[in-house]
Amino acid sequence: MNTPSELIAELPQPTVDSQPFWEGCQREQLMLQHCADCGHVFYYARRLCPACGGTQLSWQASSGKGQVYSYSQVQVAFQGPHWQSQLPYTVVLIDLEEGPRMLSRWHGPKGQVPQVGQRAQVTFPEVQGQRLPYFQAEEGAAP
């Protein structure tokens, strides 16, 4: 198992749009923006609703649950030699229950890959001092 101290990442640089999202991660909450005008729930953070252009936006915590849309086990350190320690690792696209699709990293035993369609839930391992929203198999769900 990757222990948190072993994980590395290029840490996000929050913007005026995204600060509530990354702060939510520190509280272990996956925050999503909701549009009051059309009801659209979206990811990633923006200053307007990408569906209707509405600006009455609020932040609400997601259930953090969803399904694996796709995954890839990465076997090359594209970032440079300092990423060798992470190999192989798995990048996932997750379809959240609330609707949005998000890119994330699979958090599980080294070498484990999910299945397309598998139920997944968010987890917030600490990576270089910051909690990031990664995904793991949903507890109690059939793989």
Partner 1 sequence: MPKVSQEVVIVGAGETRVGKLPGMESVQIQAWAVQEAAADCGVRVPDIDGLINLDPYAIPNSMFSSTLAEYLGLKPNFLTTVDVGGTVTAMTMLQQAVWAIESGHCEIAACVYGENTLTGRPPGAQGLALRNLLGGEEWEEPFGLHGMVTPYALLAQRYLSQYGASEKDLAEVALITRRHALLNDNAQMRKPMSMEDYLASRMIATPLRLFDCSQVSDGGGALILMSRERAQARGLKAVSIRSMAMRSTHNSVAQTPDLEDLGMAAAGRDAFAAAGLGPDDLQVALLHDAFTISVLITLEALGFAGPGEAGNYLRAGHASLGGRCPLNPHGGLLSQAHIGGMLHVTEAVHQLRGTAGRRQIPGARRAVVSGNGGVFSVCGVMVMEA
How many residues touch partner 1 (CB under 8 A)?
39
Report the residue number, 140 or 142, with the smaller CB distance to partner 1. Answer: 142
- Binding part of the chain for partner 1, among 14-22, 30-38, 51-59 by CB under 8 A, reads 14-22
Query: 């060798």: which residue's tokens?
Result: 84
Q: Which is nearer to partner 1, 105 or 119 (CB)?
A: 105
Contacting residue, 3, 10, 129, 142, with partner 1 by CB under 8 A: 10
- Residue placing its CB nearer to partner 1 in the complex, 42 or 57: 42
Cα dist from 105 to 50, 55, 70, whole Å? 24, 30, 11
User: At closest approach, how far in Å is the CB of 48 from partner 1?
Assistant: 15
Which CB sits closer to partner 1, 57 or 68? 68
Residues 49-108 that bind partner 1 (CB under 8 A): 69-80, 83, 86, 89, 91, 93, 101-105
Burial of 93 (0-12, 13-18, 19+ CB in 10 A): middle
- Residue numbers of the site for partner 1 (CB under 8 A)? 9-15, 18, 43-44, 69-80, 83, 86, 89, 91, 93, 101-105, 113, 115-117, 127, 132, 134
